[in-house]
Amino acid sequence: MPARLTAAKRHRVSFTLNGRAVTGEAEPRLLLSDFLRHVLGATGTHVGCEHGVCGACTVQVDGLAMRSCLMLAVQAEGRRVDTVEGLAGAGAALDALQRAFRRHHALQCGFCTPGILMSLGDWLGRTPNPSEQDVREMLSGHLCRCTGYAGIVRAALEAAAEMARERGKEPGDV
C-alpha cells in the first residue's frame, strides 16, 4: 500500500510555482491557498469565501484555472502551479492582460483581480474570439464588489482581440 499521510504530522510537498521548484511542509488538511500564502509567502493569491464561490483564490494548476481553496496542498505534489506573481515579465513589466486591466480601470480595490487574471490567462487561450456573453459567463465564477464588471469585460475583450491580432485573425473569426 502507498504511504498514508497522517493527520497530525506535516508532510513534505514539492511542486513548481511560477517556473521555480518549491518545497514546504503541510498537514493533510492544509488548503493549497493557505500553503501558497502562509508557507511559501506567495500572498498574491487572495482568499475570500473558502467554498469555491468567490473566485479570489483562483490559480492555474497544470495550466487550468481552478480554486486553490478547494484543493489540498498535498494534492499539488509534482504539479505545475501558476499564480499572479508569475505574470509580470522582466523588470516587473505588466503583461498584455494586466495592461488592458489598467487601461480599462478593471479594478478598484484589487482583491478579486489576481483570481480573475489567472482565469482569463487560461480561458482566453482556449476560447479564441469570445463574445461579451462568453466573457460574462466565465466571469460568473468571480465576484467583484467594486467595478460592476464593465471594465473587466472590456479589458478581457481587448486582450482577446490583441491575441487574435497576434494570430493574424480578426475578432469574430473562428
Report whether 69 contacts 59 (CB < 8 A).
no
Q: Is 146 in the site for other proteins (CB under 8 A)?
A: no
Question: Residue 105 gets which letter from DSSP?
Answer: T
152-170 exposure pattern, b = at least 16 Cβ within 10 A, e = fewer: bbbbbbbbbbbbbeeeeee
What mask of x and - would describe binding to other proteins in positions 16 to 35, judged by CB under 8 A? -----------xxx-x--x-
Q: Could you give the 3-state DSSP secondary structure of residue 78?
A: coil
Q: Which CB atom, from 8 or from 90, has the smaller least distance to other proteins?
A: 8
Following CA atoms 158, 103, 116, 112 in sequence, which dihedral angle do they give, to the nearest 10 degrees?
Answer: -160
| Residue 65 in contact with other proteins, rule: CB under 8 A | yes
- In the complex, what is the shortest distance from the CB of residue 3 to other proteins, in angstroms, rounded to a whole number? 8
**Does 96 participate in binding other proteins (rule CB under 8 A)?**
no
Which window, 35-43, 55-63, 85-93, 105-113, contacts other proteins (CB under 8 A)? Answer: 55-63
| Residues numbered 100-119 forming contacts with other proteins, rule: CB under 8 A | 119
Q: Is 137 in the site for other proteins (CB under 8 A)?
A: yes
CB of residue 36 vs other proteins: minimum separation in angstroms? 14
Give Cα 70 to chain centroid, integer Å. Answer: 13
C-alpha cell at 3: 504511504
